Amino acid sequence: MVFSIGVILQVASATVGLLVPGRLIAGIGVGFVSAIIILYMSEVAPKAVRGAIVSGYQFSITIGLLLASCVNQGTHNRMDTGSYRIPMSIQWIWALVLATGLFLLPESPRYFVKKEQLDKATHALSVLRGQPVDSQYIKDELAELVANYRYEIENMRTTWLDCFRGGWKPSGNLRRVCLGMAMQMMQQWTGVNFICKCFLTLVPSQTRPMRLRIYQLTLPVSQSTTARPFSNKLA
């Protein structure tokens, strides 16, 4: 909903004064989605494929960047407001897909365990795993979820300050937070966003064949190296 409001403001804008708030609101929506989707996938996915699925999320983002570049390339020569309204309005399609999925996907079993609603947790697991409610597989996984939750309640009372404790030792939370931030920062330092969004515009037009070749070679490398390296680590 937040993202959709931002998209509406962007498409309706005729001046920068409305476009910037629209981008800001849409960015807040993207931030929520980026945090919640990863959490949901990690809670509902089986352990054997959890890392690959979470990594696939980042791969999907890269595919989205490629599609966005294609749309921008197709509309940048328009001399009317469609040059920016068409790309911005297409964003809403994916918001619609996500909103539809919210009504079709089951709630996280872990959420129901926290609410002490074990019957609903069992049903959600059954839907997610494609197993009967009374199967041993579902019973074992539910028992593991309950045991993990009780262990966290009894032994792992935490606050936001705990994210910055533990120092730089391998088990320290501060080290983990810094590594996560550094990975995102260094991804931007690689210049991949410049290549995806600005390279064709800023390189002189006299070198058009060369710049197009570089662009075509760089995008597949970016897509193929984005998701895979961390899949085994996250599993």
Residue-wise pLDDT for 206-227, tens only, equals 555 665 566 566 666 555 555 4
Percent pLDDT > 90 in the chain is 6
Given this model, what pLDDT does residue 199 score?
63
Given this model, what pLDDT does residue 43 score?
86
In terms of Cβ atoms closer than 10 Å to its own Cβ (0-12, 13-18, 19+), residue 124 is buried
Cβ atoms 128, 41 nearer than 8 A: no
Residue range 177-183: average pLDDT? 88
Query: In angstroms, how far is CA 76 from the centroid of its own chain?
Result: 27
Cα separation, 44 vs 133, in Å, equals 16
Cα separation, 205 vs 200, in Å, equals 8
Confidence band, pLDDT 50/70/90 cuts, at residue 169: confident
Q: Tokens representing 215?
A: 């662009």
Confidence band, pLDDT 50/70/90 cuts, at residue 143: very high
Q: Tokens representing 73?
A: 């390339």
Cα separation, 41 vs 139, in Å, equals 21
